[in-house]
């Protein structure tokens, strides 16, 4: 059975923190999403506006209350000097089947530092050990080798390729690499 929290918690591991979004994140999200790599490999619109960022942050309470998504802001720092690093979530939630999908994007200057991998481990650990999911999928554009590496480094195993899985805004139909981890294969963070 899935246990759903009454509020989005704040999760810490080392110098990485996952916390609920709030109004102060709007400008950071907007600025980060101007990087063309984020819309190239995610569902973020190409012409990302400030209104998109406002809607993104303000929709969190609704998607959480409806048990469709649990989304976090990723921060890196020691509590005094903290930097916005990106967004990560568990979405495409299927309560009956105890499954979810991990989704994320990392702000350009924070990439390649292990922050995304750590955040993926933290949210996956929380999803499997606390919420009770039995499987968490991760989908990565087949051309996005960095995202595939992140998932592998975070403990996910590549299961195959999903042909013509996603439609891009320009009409292209693209293949996605399918990664997954399960409650029986996951190695807890505190081990």
Could you tell me if residue 184 is inside a domain? Answer: no
Give the pLDDT mean for 48-53.
Answer: 97
Question: How many domains are there within the chain?
Answer: 1
pLDDT reading at 9 higher than 90: yes
User: What is the residue range of 129's domain?
Assistant: 11-137
Domain assignment of residue 149, yes or no? no
- Read off the CATH number of the domain in which 16 is found: 3.40.630.30
On whether residue 48 sits in a domain, the answer given is yes
Mean pLDDT across the chain, nearest whole number?
A: 95
Q: Look at residue 169 and tell me if it is in a domain.
A: no
Distance (Å, whole) CA 19 – CA 72: 5
Residue 41 falls inside a structural domain: yes
Strand, helix or coil at 150? Answer: helix
In a domain, 188, yes or no: no
Determine if residue 110 is left, alpha or beta; phi over 0 gives left, psi from -120 to 50 gives alpha, anything else beta. alpha
Distance, CA of 158 to chain centre: 17
Mean pLDDT of the region 113-141: 97
pLDDT of 59-106, one tens digit each? 989 999 999 999 999 999 987 899 999 999 999 999 999 999 999 999
The answer to whether residue 73 sits within a structural domain is yes
> Taking residues 6-33, what's their average pLDDT?
97
CA distance 130 to 124: 10
Q: Is residue 51 part of a domain?
A: yes
């Amino acid at each position: 059975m899935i246990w759903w929290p009454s509020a989005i918690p704040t999760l810490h591991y080392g110098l990485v923190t996952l916390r609920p979004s709030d109004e102060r994140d709007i400008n950071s999200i907007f600025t980060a999403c101007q990087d063309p790599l984020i819309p190239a490999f995610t569902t973020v619109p190409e012409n990302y506006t400030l209104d998109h960022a406002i809607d993104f942050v303000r929709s969190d309470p609704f998607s959480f209350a409806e048990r469709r998504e649990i989304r976090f802001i990723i921060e890196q720092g020691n509590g005094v000097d903290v930097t916005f690093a990106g967004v990560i979530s568990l979405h495409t939630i299927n309560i009956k089947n105890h499954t979810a999908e991990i989704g994320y994007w990392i702000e350009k200057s924070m990439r390649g530092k292990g922050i995304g991998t750590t955040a993926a481990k933290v949210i996956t650990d929380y999803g499997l050990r606390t919420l009770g999911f039995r499987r968490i999928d991760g989908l990565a554009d087949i051309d996005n080798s960095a995202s595939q590496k992140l998932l592998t480094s975070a403990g996910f195993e590549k299961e195959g390729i999903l042909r013509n899985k996603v439609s891009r805004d320009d009409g292209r139909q693209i293949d996605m690499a399918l990664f997954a981890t399960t409650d029986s294969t996951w190695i807890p963070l505190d081990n």
